[in-house]
A and B are shown apart, each in its own frame.
Chain A
């Protein structure tokens, strides 16, 4: 329960309903915390622009910036280069932007709802459910393309979270962070058992699955981006609506209830948002584990624990991280590619460890 300690010194007395303390700045001009947050937000927006530009401009085939600009603005005769930019890089960048944002948002929400620093969406049964959906699609129906996996992965993710939430809140006393996390872990174990049972007995399924499970942006065209876009937009809206409620829930369910928060509703909205966001992202790209986990911890360093800042900033940083990792993956092993999920882990993890060691991270 150290949820609001970070912001506390900057907060005036009586700010109980306003745990982030952002409104207390009103009287004395911008407080230092508020300035840090605004600067951080601004920096993130700039970074998103930079990352998107890089993602469009850089690839295994080097195309001059002039040609890239021409491809984007001039609807004239298609050349090979303009086709690459328009048909491959732009959809890929758009998808990366959406998926990264979705994973960042989902991570911040999941950690807030489970009050567990390990509250990765993967632990709520989403990744395992999606994996099961994909394996069943491969094994039973012979589906074999990323676009074909999307709906199965999404259905699996949906089933996973609904089951986790139902089982986690079925015991006496309803859903507590601990029962949710444990139900997620147990259900993931069960799903992965089924996945493994299929994969160890059917080599063909393993052959298809091993390329899905690394998590990649490559080979997903504009059709995949359009398929998942509505879900990610819906999830984004729900996440932004849900963020202020998380600050109240962070004070404990009883306090939140006393302050007029409908706890059950807030949990349901949060879970729906996490499912939509992470389910759609996983469906599009395969499981990308590290973004949702790391991003909120990094963002918390400058926003403090207030979720109304933490959640949107996590979304932005997630997008930046995923796009940059994808660009790096295209460059390091030219003309081949390293999948974005792998790049993220190999670059993100050492950075994350350095961050943990350097400063005392505020707990969720």
Chain B
């Protein structure tokens, strides 16, 4: 049912208005103007929100002072606040949103299921289990052990990667079937969630509180130490994700069709899942499993661009805008600084609901 509809949708869209065919020498492609608008709009939103965020907080700094500081002319205090406290936090937020948005779009397209996000497939939950283990076992309980000595971000990275690789290995049977991957992911999610919840019941309440803030996803006290590795990871992973985009669009029509159209299915599947896992792991190691970005954002992006599947780049940029915007809200509007993960869900979810209520019924992704 869905495949047929997607196919007809794709065919009719070929001659739709709002598209321009561009030829440069031997290369030709279509420009979908609506998609371009969304990408540019989201990018502009990220920059504007980030700029606004640099000046706001407990110690407000005017726009001109922010600009002076950025070019190296500001006072020492302002330079410290803007460049050392706020800038890394905003950069981490934007990059994490970008990574989670793209990862969510990859998983949802690949599994042909709008609920298939790293949250549901257990990868962020694996990161939570790792981090909570590090906090609880290495905390005031005393028994530090291997996990405790590892540090929370590394434990989270490890948890996410192990869960992601387990997902790949356990769902693999001469290739990955999206349906099987989703079911395996749910099982891994359940195990990781059980471990996390159990550790939380065993912990001292102070450790449990710390751990709970971490698993909500927070940008507090992020430094360039988190931003730079994340930037490096994205510099490698984002081009890889975008490179799979074309093959991914074909894979959506079903494995047989994809094979018939000349997609090398098995390598494509492996690359897509690995890239999505790595993007998620990099993001959660930096800021914790910021809730529901990867689930909600691709669904918002698909409704903004009006395509047949979540657009990768647009999802990433909408994700970045969401996280940066939510972080700005936590620091300005709210009386008390909540972790950003609370706000991403509180802002993103109603928006998706509004789009659902307003939008026409879709049976595709």
A positions within 8 Å CB-CB of B? 1, 116-118, 120, 123, 167-168, 170-174, 176-179, 181-183, 185-187, 189-190, 192-194, 196-197, 199-201, 203, 206-207, 210-211, 213-214, 252, 289-290, 293-294, 297, 338-339, 341-342, 344-346, 348-350, 352-353, 356-357, 361, 363
Contact A349 B179 (CB under 8 A): no
8 extra A-B contacts, CB within 8 A, seeds A118-B182, A352-B187, A356-B187: A178-B364, A179-B361, A189-B296, A200-B212, A203-B209, A252-B1, A342-B195, A352-B183
Once A206-B205, A345-B190 are accepted as A-B contacts, the answer to whether A196 and B356 lie under 8 Å apart by CB is: no
SS of B interface (majority): helix
Residue of A nearest to B338 (CB): A197
Contact with A along B177-190 (1 / 0, CB 8 A): 00110111011101
What is the 8 Å Cβ interface bit string for chain B, positions 108-135, against chain A (1 contact, 0 not)?
Answer: 0000011110001000000000000000
Chain A residues closer than 8 Å to B345, beta-carbon distance: 189-190, 192-193, 196
**Count of residues in B whose CB is under 8 Å from the partner chain:** 60
B220 → chain A, closest Cβ, in Å? 11
How many contacting A-B pairs (Cβ < 8 A)? 176
Least Cβ–Cβ distance between B331 and chain A, in angstroms = 15
Q: Which residue of A lies closest to B365 (CB)?
A: A178
Question: Known: A185-B295, A206-B212, A349-B188. Is A176-B361 also a contact (CB below 8 A)?
Answer: yes
A345 and B336 contact, CB distance less than 8 A = no
Interface secondary structure of A, over-half rule:
helix
| Min CB–CB distance B364 → chain A (angstroms) | 8
Chain A residues with CB under 8 Å of B197's CB are: 210, 213-214, 341-342
CA gap between A255 and B300 in the complex, in Å? 31
User: Contacts A172-B361, A252-B1, A290-B190 known; A186 to B343 CB distance under 8 Å?
Assistant: no
A304 shortest CB reach to chain B, Å: 17
Q: Is the CB of B170 within 8 A of A118?
A: no
- The 9 closest A-B CB pairs, nearest first, are A173-B361, A345-B194, A193-B345, A189-B349, A349-B187, A190-B349, A193-B346, A189-B345, A345-B190
> Which residues B328-365 have CB closer than 8 A to chain A?
336, 338-339, 341-343, 345-346, 348-350, 352-353, 356-365
> Which residues of the other chain, A, contact B90 by a CB distance below 8 angstroms?
none
Please give, as numbers and ranges, the residues of chain A lying within 8 Å of B361 by CB-CB distance. 171-174, 176, 179
Hey, which bits of chain B sit against chain A, CB under 8 A? 1, 113-116, 120, 170, 173, 179-180, 182-184, 186-188, 190-191, 193-195, 197-198, 200-201, 205-206, 208-209, 212-213, 216, 291-292, 295-296, 299, 336, 338-339, 341-343, 345-346, 348-350, 352-353, 356-365
Which partner residue on chain B sits nearest A342 by CB separation? B194
**Partner of A210 from B183, B188, B201, B349 at Cβ < 8 Å:** B201
Residues of B within 8 A of A118 (CB): 113, 115-116, 120, 182, 186
Shortest CB distance B115–A (Å) = 5
**Chain B positions within 8 Å of A186 at CB level:** 296, 349-350, 352-353, 356
A211 CA / B359 CA spacing, docked (Å): 40
> Residue B343 contacts which of A193, A348, A353 (CB distance < 8 angstroms)?
A193
Q: Which residues of A contact B115 (CB under 8 A)?
A: 116, 118, 123, 181-182, 185
Complex CA distance for A110 and B179, rounded to whole angstroms: 17
* Cβ-defined contact, A193 with B113, below 8 A: no
Inter-subunit contact A203/B205 (CB<8 Å): yes
| Chain B hits for A361, CB < 8 A | 179-180, 183
* CA–CA, A206 and B216, complex, Å: 13
Point out the residue from B193, B209, B360 that lies within 8 Å of A289, measured CB to CB.
B193
Q: Is the CB of A116 within 8 A of B113?
A: yes
B208 CB contact (under 8 Å) in A190, A210, A293, A294: A210
CB distance from B138 to the nearest CB of A (A): 19
Are A193 and B349 closer than 8 Å at their CB atoms? yes
Q: What's the minimum C-beta distance from B85 to chain A, rounded to whole angstroms?
A: 21
- A345's closest neighbor in chain B, by CB? B194
Flag if B183 contacts A190 (CB, 8 Å): no
Pair A173/B194 contact, Cβ less than 8 Å: no
The contact sample of 8 A-B pairs, CB cut-off 8 A, is A177-B363, A178-B363, A179-B362, A182-B114, A189-B345, A203-B209, A213-B197, A350-B191
CB pair A167–B357 under 8 Å, yes or no, is yes
| Residue contact B360 to A173, C-beta cutoff 8 Å | yes
Q: Are A356 and B180 in contact (CB under 8 A)?
A: yes
CB neighbours (8 Å) of A182 from chain B are 114-115, 299, 352, 356
Interface centre among A190, A193, A211, A345 (most CB of B within 10 A): A193
From B114, B190, B205, contact of A348 by CB (8 A): B190
Tell me the complex Cα distance, A123–B188, Å.
Answer: 17
Which among B194, B195, B212, B356 has the greatest number of chain A C-beta atoms within 10 A? B194
B183 CB contact (under 8 Å) in A117, A183, A342, A346: A117
Docked CA distance A172–B362 (Å): 10
Report whether B191 and A346 are in contact in the complex, using a CB–CB cutoff of 8 Å: yes
**Nearest B-chain residue to A252, judged by Cβ:** B1
Q: Contacts A189-B291, A197-B338; is A214 near B350 (CB within 8 Å)? A: no
Chain B contacts for A297, CB-based, 8 A: 183
- A207 and B198 in contact, given A183-B356, A189-B295, A200-B338 (Cβ under 8 angstroms): no
Docked Cα-Cα span, A361 to B352, in Å, equals 31
Inter-chain CA distance A338–B198, complex, in Å, is: 9
Report whether B349 and A200 are in contact in the complex, using a CB–CB cutoff of 8 Å: no
Max count, chain B CB within 10 A of own CB: residue among A123, A178, A194, A211? A178
Please measure, in the bound complex, the distance between the C-alpha atom of A190 and the C-alpha atom of B1, giving whole angstroms.
31
B193, A171: Cβ atoms under 8 Å? no
**Are B114's CB and A196's CB within 8 A?**
no
**Distance in angstroms between the alpha carbons of A199 and B210 in the assembled complex:** 11
User: Would you give the shortest CB distance from B114 to chain A, in whole angstroms?
Assistant: 6
A339, B198: Cα distance in complex, Å: 8
CB–CB A201/B296 < 8 A: no
Q: A167-B357, A171-B357, A348-B190 are in contact. Are A357 and B338 (CB under 8 A)?
A: no
Chain B residues near A193 (CB, 8 Å)?
291, 342-343, 345-346, 349
